[in-house]
Chain A
């Protein structure tokens, strides 16, 4: 990113922080948390301790960070190197991101950026300018993507409460600031479990590693009575719906399932991973030393804010998480598709200089398809 763009982003982000200190708080037990931040074009600064909101606000003003992070874990010595931190416990966290949900990129909402010649074009397998196949796909505002991530969040919360026994009142949902949601289950009975144990929880949620025997299917002599029923709890009930479709279809489907044999059933279980498994990013849940984006901070991938979601159904990230002002600025944009922010439609722009409200200009600069020069 060029210097002028960096200066604009730094100043804009700083202004946002200055005007919205009320959104930025250190979490509970701040003295036991590790904080970190990144600067534009810079590396990660971590192993930082902050004791209060005031110290956090000072850090934001002094460092003009692109991204701010805080550990979900508590340590006895959070500012020491990783091996000496002395891990105490960690909130259970989940990340559901649109990029992990889609099988193909949404054509209307995506562009490609060529890594060789930097050309931005409509979605395609190669760069129309230099035919290179080294491409980065950039997705702009996509309501369908947000809708499917919301559906996934609801499915996750059902499993967290019904199966894992987590109190629904304690679960907190945040918009990630880009294309997904971060779900926290603080102070749960899983607070003290390690990474391997969390990986098991991830696999459970993602429906990974299931074997036929779990669902009453034996290698030999399987019979209808042991297979999943609609009214079963947990994955059994969900699998029954997937296997048989409707109750009236159960008997016929059961026969098919049994005559298909063990191998086929195992194969189908693996396929169900994609349909009924919840698409969380297991690396986030399993990593007990992660520093995770701080609620209230701006995500430099988009210029949108990681924000608490009170009503998931009504929440619209492209208005509710867009805090940057609408002062007009000139930017050079190459964006062959349209996008919508704060209920305003923008684009397409053919490598032209346009005057845009700052929130839209910042969004495009963060996405790497606009520049002030």
Chain B
């Protein structure tokens, strides 16, 4: 017995020594497939980050119930990026150092742009779940960075096209834009769309006023609101978002600013602002990554909504959850296709991938790692309902009609007023 015991000890010792000596091999061969989720879980963007986390966790549960990826269960390694590039870089380096090469998350443009070089250098992959920068597909293009959602050029140009179609007489436009990368990008693209689609569709030349820059994360927007009042524009494009947008709308209400516009086109708040403002909401168009009600009948969407309700008690998941869900399914399909989790293989199989999502099939353009996806736009109005708002119009714009051609490594070329 004692002899056997000693032999066992030697066997265990040898196994432990092998495991210590060859950590990469042991990770590759057994245990769950770990995927990094780097998203805001604290700070100003925590609320949006919670959608990303829920969407990713639902996708992982669904994949695991279906047998996992390549027969392996999937586990998320979740880290908080605080919507801050430094925190995101620290989290990414930690996960990459632990041998995790596949990552999703990142809703802040600054975070995603900061992660690109480290992913390339350390042979990782990062799939954003809603960052709006155009640079990741252009001058800051990295083969290791992917966007499964609509591109900022597709979104902004689809909105401009809709404005030209529905409001041909609204030709004097201004913008209320946050003073950072996302705000300037969204406004520039929207202007490009106005300058293309108003002459083509409305047969009129739009007048573009200087946008009003909104400070980020402050408690008072009155000076900016009065600057906008002086402009006397007919159409307003807003890309302030979340809590900032709600504060701005509340303070603008006192001045009657929003009532002066014939149309308000919001970049991407989905229902965040409507849920916060309820009956204070100025009627407006907004862009959605995913509008659950319009995707009823899509089996994947119906199941996603049911799982989201069961997990969070929220019957209407917003787009950031859908983007995380789509990112996980893109990864799963690319891995299954190449039967490998190796970075080079996954990159190769993500490029040109067509995969099913809650908004229908999407195609990942191989040239610049940008998905081609239809743009979903809704018109929301205050309503005397429990929610305090209602969707009165829904428009789906064919992504292929509005997305600009791929130009990785080159600056996005846009028309300027």
Query: Is chain B found bound to chain A in the same assembly?
Result: no
A residues near B, CB below 8 A? none
B residues near A, CB below 8 A? none
